[in-house]
Every structure is written in C-alpha cells, then in structure tokens.
C-alpha cells in the first residue's frame, strides 16, 4: 500500500502546571495515500491552537475527551482533499475537520465539512467564521443578551473570541470596554475594534479601579474569558440584573491546585446577577444565523479580525504555549501547507 510521510505532534506527557515543549513530541508517520472506504486524505493548510486544549492534556472528566498519551493530538484544521473514497468529496475540495496537529490527515467523510474558499480565506473558518467567532456570537447575544446603551466589559479582549465580542457588542449599540495584556493590544482595541475604553491589566496597579474608570455607569454584561482577579473586579462593578457570560477562565487553566473563588460572590444575590456558563458546541441551531450575520458584517467592513500565524508543524507547540503568555493578537494559527 503506497504511503505519504507526514509529521505530527504527539502528547508526550501530561503537564503539571504550565505546559512546556517537553510535553510534546514531533513524530514522523506514514499515512496511506489511498483512503479506505468513505475516508479522505487531506493535506492540512492551517491548524488551530485553542485554550480548551489545555484541559484535554489533563486526564480527567470534561466536556472534551482527554488526548491520549503517545498519540497525535487533535483539533480544528482546514485542508485540501488530495484523495477521496467518499462520494461527496473530490480532490481539490477544501474541508474543515478536527484532525489538526499533523500535516496529512485521514478523515472520515462524516467528520469533514466542505468550505468555500471564495467566501473568505480558508483560515477564517478556524477564527472569525469558525468556532471562536461563533463562541463570541452565541455567548454575547444569547447568553449575555446585551441591550443598546448598556455597558459590556470583555476580558481577554484582544484574543480570537474577545476581539469579536467587543465588535459585536458595539454593533448592538453598547458601550464597550476591554482588558488585554499589552499596550499594542490596548491600542488595537481602541483604534481597530472601536471600543470605548481599554485597560492593560498587566500595568494596572488596581485592576478594579482601572476598569471602574472606564465604566462610569457600571457593567451590565461581563464577558468572562479570564477568571481570577478579573472576575472579582467585574463582580464588584456589576449593575443590578447584570449578566456574566462565563465563556472561559484562562488564568486558571495551568493551576495545579483549585484557585480560590472571588471573595465577593454574595453580590450575585444583592445585585440579582445571572452567571451562566456555556459551551459553543451545544448550540448547533445558531450556526446558520452566525454565518449569515458574521459573513454580512465582514462584507460590510463592520468587523476587523486579526490572525497571528506561526509557520510549520514544528512550531505548533510554541503557538499553543503562546496563548498563555499572550503572544497572539486575534486568532492564533499554524500554517502547515
């Protein structure tokens, strides 16, 4: 059986605390060049690295199964079909699938979705038009339910999800304030995303006061990407009947012990707050609305999106680790082909 040589990243060991390069192994494997029945051979063009993958490096119960030790990691990718044994796909098709972290993927047709490269760049389907974009859309609009004139505060505001939350909130007529970890990100938020205020949380001597200064009317919707000190600060600034969209808490993902909770949780009662977590994959019914609205906003020039792209499968671990040190503006991607 003829084969193609492909490099892929395996999980070499499970990290305790902050992951390091030693937790990953670059391995070369042979992939059959003639796919079995109903399968496709895909040459990956881009792969996504996402914070939720940190949870999958751990061996525990979660909404996404743990990565297996000594096997290739998985995650969102787009690629070109080079051979197909499935009636719905042909060589040359561009597909979205879940077998990233490798150069060539053998994918079952059921796990692949055709994308239209004429609509937008192929990597957009991993970012603004993909899972992070839909997370921003569903999280803000359905869970946060912002109304025109309300104040929306977004942490992790210059990342893949946060940068889009800020702009969708502006499109709803909200006052928007974001926090991010560098002067460049704060400048981007003000100049490109069009937020009304932005805080560099790394430089703020008192995070609560720094956010309060940008939110003179308090906070009606807090879009939570970070957790920890951000959550405590936001809770203290919430207006009565405010909503906290619990999207993620990246500041805690590398903790080796459970982090203490915010000290001011009692405010949930007195201010009649709603805190709701959500997972984007629970909302397939919103996909068509999301594509229609996001593609429309993109075409009308109402949404700016950024990508931080590293090159080559060997840089995938660095791209992933960079999420935890804020190396990315917008979506972090790895270009493979």
Binding site for ligand NDP (CB under 6 A): 50-52, 132, 135, 156, 158-162, 180-182, 185, 225-226, 247-248, 250-251, 278-280, 323-324, 326, 328, 332
H or E element at residue 82: strand 77-84
* Sheet strands (E) in 143-268: 151-154, 175-180, 197-200, 219-224, 238-246
CA distance 293 to 311: 31
Q: Shortest distance, CB of residue 4 to ligand NDP, whole angstroms?
A: 31
Residue 38, classified by CB atoms within 10 Å of its CB into exposed (0-12), middle (13-18) or buried (19+), is middle
Please name every residue paired with 180 in a beta bridge, in sequence order, or none if there are none: 200
Q: Give the nearer residue to ligand NDP in terms of CB position, either 81 or 165.
A: 165
- Cα angle for residues 23, 27, 30 (degrees, 5° grid): 150
Q: Give the nearer residue to ligand NDP in terms of CB position, either 79 or 181.
A: 181
Q: Shortest distance, CB of residue 250 to ligand NDP, whole angstroms?
A: 4
Q: Shortest distance, CB of residue 84 to ligand NDP, whole angstroms?
A: 30
Q: Give the nearer residue to ligand NDP in terms of CB position, either 282 or 311.
A: 282
SS3 assignment, position 65: coil
Q: Shortest distance, CB of residue 332 to ligand NDP, whole angstroms?
A: 6
CA distance 234 to 221: 9
Q: Shortest distance, CB of residue 227 to ligand NDP, whole angstroms?
A: 8
Do you know the residue count of the chain?
337
Q: Give the nearer residue to ligand NDP in terms of CB position, either 93 or 307.
A: 307
Q: Shortest distance, CB of residue 122 to ligand NDP, whole angstroms?
A: 18
Q: Give the nearer residue to ligand NDP in terms of CB position, either 50 or 93.
A: 50
Q: Give the nearer residue to ligand NDP in terms of CB position, either 53 or 219.
A: 53
- Cα angle for residues 178, 183, 185 (degrees, 5° grid): 50
Q: Note whether 73 and 10 are within 8 A (CB).
A: yes
């Amino acid at each position: 059986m003829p084969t193609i040589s492909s490099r892929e990243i395996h999980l070499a060991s499970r990290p305790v605390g902050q992951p390091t390069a030693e937790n990953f192994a670059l391995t070369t494997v042979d992939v059959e060049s003639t796919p079995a029945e109903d399968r496709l051979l895909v040459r990956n063009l881009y792969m996504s690295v996402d914070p939720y993958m940190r949870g999958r490096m751990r061996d525990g119960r979660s909404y996404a199964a743990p990565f297996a030790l000594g096997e290739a990691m998985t995650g969102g990718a787009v690629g070109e079909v080079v051979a197909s044994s499935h009636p719905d796909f042909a060589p040359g098709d561009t597909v979205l699938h879940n077998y990233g972290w490798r150069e060539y993927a053998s994918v079952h047709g059921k796990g692949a979705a055709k994308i239209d490269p004429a609509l937008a760049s192929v990597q957009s389907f991993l970012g603004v038009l993909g899972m992070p974009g839909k997370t921003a859309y569903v999280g803000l609009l359905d869970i946060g339910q912002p109304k025109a004139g309300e104040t929306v505060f977004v942490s992790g505001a210059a990342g893949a999800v946060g940068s889009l939350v800020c702009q969708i909130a502006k499109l709803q007529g909200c006052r928007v304030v974001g926090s991010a970890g560098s002067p460049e990100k704060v400048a981007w938020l003000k100049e490109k995303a069009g937020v009304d205020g932005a805080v560099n949380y790394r430089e703020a001597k008192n995070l609560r006061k720094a956010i309060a200064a940008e939110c003179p009317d308090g906070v009606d919707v807090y879009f939570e990407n970070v957790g920890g000190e951000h959550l405590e600060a936001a809770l203290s600034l919430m207006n009565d009947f405010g909503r906290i969209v619990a999207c993620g808490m990246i500041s805690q993902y590398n903790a080796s012990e459970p982090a203490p909770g915010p000290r001011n949780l009692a405010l949930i009662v007195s201010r009649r707050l709603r805190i709701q977590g959500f997972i984007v994959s629970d909302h397939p019914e919103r996909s068509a609305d999301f594509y229609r609205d996001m593609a429309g906003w993109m075409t009308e020039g109402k949404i700016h999106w950024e990508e931080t792209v590293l090159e080559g499968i060997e840089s995938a671990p660095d791209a992933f680790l960079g999420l935890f040190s804020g190396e990315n503006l917008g979506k972090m991607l790895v270009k493979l082909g």
